[in-house]
Amino acid sequence: MPTGVRKGSESVAETQTATTKAKKPAKRTTKKRTLKRTLVVVESPAKAKTIEKYLGRKYMVRASMGHLRDLPKSQFGIDVEHDFAPKYINIRGKGDLIKALKKDAKQADKIYLASDPDREGEAIAWHLAYILGIDPASDCRIVFNEITKPAIQEAVKHPRGINLDQVDAQQARRMLDRIVGYKLSPLLWRKVRKGLSAGRVQSVTVKLICEREKEIQAFNSEEYWTVGAKLRHERSALIPAELVQVDGAKLALHNKQETEQVVAELTQQAPVVSAVKRTERRRKPSAPFTTSSLQQDAARKLGFTSRRTMMYAQQLYEGIELGHGGASGLITYMRTDSTRISTLAQDEARSFIETSYGAGYLPEKPNIYAAGKKAQDAHEAIRPTSVERTPASVEQYLTKEQFKLYSLIWQRFVASQMTPAVYDTVSVDIAAGPRFVLRAKGSTLKFAGFTAVYAGADVTKKEKDVVLPELNAGDSLKIEKTLPQQHFTEPPPRYNDASLVKALEELEIGRPSTYAPIIETIQARGYVQRVDKHFQPTELGFVVVDMLQEYFKTIVNVKFTAELENELDEIAEGKVEKNTLLRDFYGPFETDVEKADEAIGHVELPVEVSDVQCELCGRMMVVKQGRYGKFLACPGFPECRNTKPLLKDTGVKCPKCGGSIVERRSRRGRVFYGCKNYPDCDYTTWDTPLQEQCPECGAFLLKHHFKNGRTLQYCSNDACKTRIDNPINEELEKIRKRMEARKTAAEEKAAQKETEQ
Q: Which amino acids are annotated catalytic?
A: 333
Euclidean distance between CA atoms 224 and 488, whole angstroms: 6
**Which is nearest to 661 in space by CA: 23, 652, 669, 511?**
652
What is the rounded CA–CA span in Å between residue 75 and residue 80?
A: 13
- Residue 212 backbone phi and psi in degrees, to 5: -65, -40
Buried b / exposed e over 228-257, threshold 16 CB at 10 Å, is ebebbbeeeeebebebeebeeeebebeeee
Tell me how crowded residue 296 is: count the other CB atoms within 10 A of its CB: 23
Q: Give me the amino acid identity at 228.
A: G
Label residue 487 left, alpha or beta by phi (over 0 means left) and psi (-120 to 50 means alpha). beta
- What DSSP state is assigned to residue 700? E
Instruction: Decide: 421 and 447 in contact? Cβ < 8 Å.
Output: yes
Taking only Cα atoms into account, the Rg of the chain, rounded to an integer number of angstroms, comes to 35
Give the chain's length.
757
First-residue to last-residue Cα distance in the chain: 79
The burial of 287, by beta-carbon neighbours within 10 Å (0-12 exposed, 13-18 middle, 19 or more buried), is given as: buried
Contacts of 291 (CB under 8 A, 6+ apart): 310, 334, 335, 336, 337, 382, 512, 513, 515
Q: Is the peptide bond before 240 cis (omega within 30 degrees of 0)?
A: no
Q: Count the Cβ atoms, other than its own, within 10 Å of residue 222.
A: 10
Which residue in 456, 435, 461 sits closest to 445, CA to CA?
A: 456
Q: How far apart are CA 407 and CA 96, in angstroms?
A: 40
Pick from 141, 153, 150, 179: which is nearest to 59 by CA? 153
Q: Would residue 532 be called left, alpha or beta, if left means φ above 0 and alpha means ψ between -120 and 50 degrees?
A: left
Residue 581: left if φ>0, alpha if ψ -120 to 50, beta else—which one?
alpha
Name the pairing type of β-strands 320-321 and 528-531: unpaired
- C-alpha span between 306 and 299 (Å, rounded): 7
CA–chain centroid gap for 133, Å, is 37
What span, in angstroms and rounded, lies between the C-alpha atoms of 689 and 662?
9
Alpha helices in 234-302 (DSSP H): 256-266, 291-297
In terms of Cα–Cα distance, which of 503, 511, 433, 611 is closest to 208?
Answer: 503
Phi, psi of 480 (to 5 degrees): -85, -35
Stated as kind and residue range, the H or E segment containing 53 is helix 45-55
Q: Which residues of 353-375 are buried (b: 16+ CB within 10 A; e: fewer)?
A: beeebeeebbbeeebebebeeee
